[in-house]
Amino acid sequence: MAWRKFNGEQVHFAITDEVETALEREIQAGFRLKVCIGTDSQVKNGITEFATVIVFLRERRGGFMYIHQERTRKKMSIRERMLNEVQKSIEVAYSLCDLLDLYDVDMEVHADINTNPQFKSNAALHEAMGYILSMGFVFKAKPEAFASSCCANKIVN
């Protein structure tokens, strides 16, 4: 999996090593952190582009993020695409949860799914919420899911 920073700089190590280095640096600098993980996708010309982000929030001091992008030509229903987004976020969250526990950093998994039933993405809300919560993660949906609906969204749009 190729990851990069928001400024475009490639991450040359495993993302877990990069995250641990960032945690050590930020904690050493005295910051209280929270990590939010989210994925968004966009379909253009038959290609679905996914962007997964790991957002580090410094309490009252801004933040930074790591980005992973991938594309597929596979056709998916909106429900399937939303659940694919959630799966990608959970994979990353699962790979980082022990590390974040070790450094006592809270984590949330954000789903780009609307809580309003008038929106198509709502079809996957209950499954996504159940999936994330059953894995033991804190779940956020729109409008609170900024990692997926704002940060990852900027990458795929």
User: What does the pLDDT look like over 139-156, one tens digit per residue?
Assistant: 999 889 999 999 999 999
Mean pLDDT for the stretch of residues 93-109: 97
Neighbours of 96 (CB within 10 A): 20
Position 117 pLDDT exceeds 90 = no
Q: How many domains does the chain fold into?
A: 1
Let me know: does 144 contact 38? Beta carbons within 8 Å: no
pLDDT level of residue 120 (50, 70, 90 thresholds): confident
pLDDT level of residue 119 (50, 70, 90 thresholds): confident
Which amino acid type is present at position 24? E
pLDDT level of residue 100 (50, 70, 90 thresholds): very high
What residue numbers bound the domain in which 151 lies?
Answer: 3-156
User: What does the pLDDT look like over 60-92, one tens digit per residue?
Assistant: 899 999 999 999 999 999 889 999 999 999 999
Q: H or E segment at 88?
A: helix 78-102
76: tokens are 């998916």
Let me know: does 95 contact 88? Beta carbons within 8 Å: no
pTM value is: 0.93
Let me know: does 123 contact 116? Beta carbons within 8 Å: no
Let me know: does 70 contact 54? Beta carbons within 8 Å: no
Residue 73: which CATH number?
3.30.420
